[in-house]
Structure 1
Amino acid sequence: MIYNEKYETMDIDEKKELQLRRLQKIVKTAYEKVPFYKKKFDDAGVKPEDIKTLKDIEKIPFTTKADLREAYPFGMFAVDEEEIVEIHTTSGTTGKPTVTGYTKKDIGIWQEIIARAIVMAGGGKKDIIQNGYGYGLFTGGLGVHHGGYKLGAIVVPMSSGNTKRQLEIMSDFQTTILTCTPSYAMYLAESLEKIGLTKKDISLKTGIFGAEMWTSEMRDKLEEKLGIDALNIYGLTELTGPGVAMECLEKSGLHISDDHFYPEIIDPKTKKSLNEGEKGELVLTTLTKEGMPVIRFRTKDLTSINWNKCKCGRTTPRISRISGRSDDMLKVRGVIVFPSQIESAILKIEGLTPNYQIIITRPEFLDEIDILVEATPALFSDEMKEMEEIEIKIANEIKKEIGLRVNLQIVESESLPRSEGKAVRVIDKRNLEN
């Protein structure tokens, strides 16, 4: 089943004509109504009328997360504030969060692309969707909620946490679709076994999982333990939230709603466009966003693109599973983390040196963060009880900064490896390539 056959199965040449019209319009809007873009275009010597073909998008400068942060809070809006009906933000990263605003039309488009995603997962009006994504400023919860409402399905707004209640609801309501992070889905699966239930005691058929990178092995385990099709959803707060791309039941890549988002793949070092099938950094342009158009946004996500028609019948391009990022930003349990955030928390404590190491592992299915931090000789000679209290204090400071629990250990001064070049602060031992 396809939710919107007109756009999801559109002839490629017809789609390109549509994209060009929309690109020309959004570029003109951004230039005329967003001072940031007018300056950006003028500095690059580009005018809206220079965009005569889709290839001409390469003349336009990139937009980065740093650009959006500098415009905090409403500097990127293309409409008057009274036209904005909903606002979401990222979690904050190294400073101010990035903000995105939606008009009523934008919310309608968001509903549409999530409805498409749910149908790609085999969903329909008769389904009960248990929404385990977080509500609030995070886009996940309300994004899925908007789409389920549009589709006409029943949405159970559980949000994350309260695992026992989640499982009770899943069993009592006979939920058919689960939406949450894949690591939390695995935790639910393992908790199900612990309370003596099996996949036969629930009615799940599909999981729509995103907000963090996950492997094909994780998919296999989730499908085995829950008896479902485990599918990948992709999105960014900066553009709209979840629904930018979604995996269909063929599981051969994530379909981009390219009537609303124009995709490019670039070499992150040279910034040159890459060919179909070559892995590089995903760059996205909103084609229909009223409240906050975003032109050539560097996502930092590494993937490749396939323009061939899918066996499901859709002609929308497909990106491969995100295998990593082109910067030092980490995504752990669905939360964006920068090493500098951890450093900031460490440096608030007297007696610690700036030398630390972050080790990220996935021993089972949940990410773990282990942090080793060097102490001064004076601090390291303190009593064991005092050391333990300091470790707890630091761990709490880091949790306040990033919102995640960490395993922290104070180590002796000069015990961590040194480098003559750039310090190796992060060791990511997760296998995210498969």
Structure 2
Amino acid sequence: MTRDGRLPAAVRRDLLCPCTGRLGLSACHGGADVKPFIYDPPNETMPREELEQFQLERLQSTIYRCYRNVQFYGSVMRDLQLTPDDFTTLEDLRRLPFTTKEHLRNSYPYGMFAVPLREVRRIHSSSGSTGVAIVVGYTANDLDHWTGLVARNLAAAGVTDEDVVQIFFGFGLFSGGFGLHQGAERIGASVLPASTADIHKQISVMQDFRTTILVGTPSYARQIAETIAESDISVQSLSLKGGLFGAEPWSERTRQIIEENLVITALDIYGLAELGGPGVAGECPFKCGLHIAEDHFIAEVIDPETGEVLEAGREGELVLTAIHKEAFPLLRYRTGDITTLHIEPCECGRTHARMSRVYRRTDDMIAIRGVKVFPADIQAEIEDMEGVGSRMQIVLDREGHEDTIEVQIELTRPPAGGGLSSLDRQRQATQDRLGDFLRMPVRVRFVEPSTLAPLGEKTTMVVDNRNG
């Protein structure tokens, strides 16, 4: 980079798409033929053997600090008669038990911090909608490293200092908006912190400020895409070329709708509040998995029932160890996300392991009338239906001694023909399809957009009132 933080002109020329002549990855789907810009080549393309040695050195340093500065980890290791000197290989990490969300909640608010509060420059937290909030601290170095990690994800999507990035994640205690904002600024892009403005305002901003990159939740991006498709706005009049979407599971069908209606390349990004937010992993345009920042995290996949570490390629629960965080290091944290790991290098040139896209969680599975159901499967069924949005909420209740299930779905546009009769026919058709899919009676209720959660924020997928 030049001293003013801009990409060198030669690099910008290398990013010209041969299909369109536009800067950045192609908005047509030939963009995968262009080698994506790698923001941090020494680390992102490090040979595997060197990377593992690098991980070990950072792991040993992190374990030493956790042992000395985090009471929880110090007690765990002493109970197991372990000291930092016992960790001489990456495999030795398996000698430690898992850290869970419950451990973090029991340490609320600052019990897991590894530095004094005077060294913490920022605090984010989870919403606490399902229990005590999880509080995460960042030192100045943590913020700098986090910004660099998010910049990697943005750069992989072709973002340069000539882009205008419109962010419709919420800004607040939720870390997503801030993380992407910082990463885009690090690259030198112009940032529009549109936050959770309504859809028509988002589209207006897109038009007026010539947005090139969209960043936010995929469900909101889909609503924007469908709204534009049904309007008299010509997508060719927009300057869009790409988007990064995350914070909730999304299907290939939703990706297809976003890409076709907006004529962009839509990529998945992954992060979680406990590990600092976005920047843990992200797709490149080859879309063959999300590249994990392995110089900052050690990834394992385990059998969620036995805790056994699984070999690459087998599906299980993702476990992450943060090896380069000062304020809030976590050892063997069970994310609850179901994925697979792939360690062979990607065509894009990155050598870090890739994780498959996350559609399900270990704690998502619900039992209804003795049948095991994953909400993501219901959502995938809904996303295949015409005229129905992708944002939904499952409400479980009990009538007498029998479980009931109601699926509330945000209706993004009125059914063809209009009127209450058309709406009722669509509701009945949706209800019948879900009933056939689940093999049990289902009630469907359509609700207005933003009813289940503010636009741009993720919804609570399941509300279980059966024990209330």
Task: Output the TM-score relative to the length of structure 2.
Answer: 0.74
1:210 to 241, 246, 256: 246
Shift of 1:41: 1.5
Match of 1:27 in 2: 63
State which of 146, 149, 161 in structure 2 corresponds to 1:125. Answer: 161
Structure 2: how far apart are the matches of 1:58 and 1:425? Answer: 38
Specify the alignment match of 1:142 in structure 2.
178
The aligned amino acid for 2:109 is P
CA offsets 1:191-228 (integer angstroms, 9 cap, x no match) = 22343213212111111000111111211111101101
Alignment partner, residue 368 of structure 1: 392
Structure 2 residue 107 is matched with structure 1 residue 71: yes
Amino acid at match of 1:64: T
The Cα offsets for residues 68-120 of structure 1, whole Å up to 9 and x where unpaired, read as 01111111111110110111111104321101000000000110001100000
Distance 1:403 1:244, change over 3 A: closer
**Contact 1:358 1:370 survives alignment (8 Å):** no
Alpha-carbon deviation of 1:46? Answer: 2.2
Structure 1 residues 47 and 399 mapped into 2: Cα distance closer, same or farther (>3 Å)? same
Q: Do the aligned partners of residues 228 and 41 (structure 1) sit closer, same or farther apart at CA in structure 2, a change above 3 Å counting?
A: same
2:313 is aligned to: 277
- After superposition, where does 1:89-100 map in structure 2 within 5 Å? 89-100=125-136
Q: Identity across aligned pairs (percent)?
A: 43
Aligned mates of 1:407, 1:271 — CA distance in 2:
26
* Partner residue, 1:323: 359
Q: Cα deviation per residue 1:271-325 (whole Å; 9 max; x = unaligned)?
A: 0111010111100011110011111100010101111111000101100111311
Runs of 4+ in 1 over 6 A off after TM superposition: 405-408, 423-426
What is residue 26 of structure 2 aligned with on the other side?
Answer: none
1:16/1:168 CA distance change after superposition, 3 Å: same
Aligned residues: 368
Aligned partners of 1:406, 1:148: CA distance in 2, in Å?
30
Pairing 1:285-364 to 2, within 5 Å after superposition: 285-328=321-364, 361=379, 362-363=382-383, 364=388
Give the Cα–Cα distance (whole angstroms) in 2 for the partners of residues 9 and 204 of structure 1.
Answer: 29
Instruction: Give the corresponding residue for 2:264.
Output: 228
- Structure 1 140/403 Cα, relative in aligned 2: closer, same or farther at 3 Å? closer
Spell out, residue by residue over 1:252-274, the C-alpha distance to the aligned partner (whole angstroms, 9 max, x if none).
Answer: 10000110011111111110111
Q: Relative to 1, partners in 2 of residues 1:323 and 1:172: Cα closer, same or farther, differing over 3 Å? A: same
- 8 A contact 2:157–2:285 mirrored in 1: yes
Whether the 8 Å CA contact 1:358–1:372 is kept in 2: the answer is no
Equivalent residue runs for 1:102-117 within 5 Å? 102-117=138-153
Change (3 A) 1:365 1:312: farther
Question: Counterparts of 2:394 and 2:327 in 1: how far apart (Å)?
Answer: 41
Aligned counterparts of 2:144 and 2:226: Cα–Cα separation in 1: 37
Counterpart CA distance in 2 for 1:30 and 1:24 is 10
Change (3 A) 1:322 1:370: closer
**Alpha-carbon spacing, 1:44–1:231, altered in 2? closer, same or farther (3 Å):** same
Secondary structure of the structure 1 residue equivalent to 2:256: helix
Distance 1:165 1:230 in 2: 21
Whole-Å Cα distance in 2 between the matches of residues 156 and 368 of structure 1?
A: 28
Over the residues paired in the alignment, what is the CA RMSD in angstroms? 2.9
Gaps of 5+ in 2: 1-36, 368-372, 402-444, 446-451
Contact 1:283 1:298 in 2 (8 A): yes
Q: Secondary structure at the match of 2:299?
A: strand
* Letter aligned with residue 120 of structure 2: I
Q: CA deviation at 1:44?
A: 2.5
Change (3 A) 1:249 1:143: same
Q: Distance in 2 between matches of 1:5 and 1:157?
A: 29
TM-score of the aligned structures, taking structure 1 as reference length = 0.79
**CA deviation vs aligned residue, 1:240-261 (integer Å, no higher than 9, x gap):** 1001000001111000011001
Separation in 2 of the partners of 1:131 and 1:405? 21
Instruction: Quote the Cα distance in structure 1 between the aligned partners of 2:176 and 2:41.
Output: 25
Change (3 A) 1:126 1:50: same
Contact kept? 1:231, 1:248, Cα under 8 Å = yes
2:206 corresponds in structure 1 to: 170
**Which residue number corresponds to residue 10 of structure 1?**
46
Q: Could you tell me which amino acid in structure 1 is paired with residue 174 of structure 2? A: F
- In structure 1, the residue matched to 2:79 is 43
| Equivalent residue letter for 2:46 | M
Q: CA deviation at 1:329?
A: 7.7
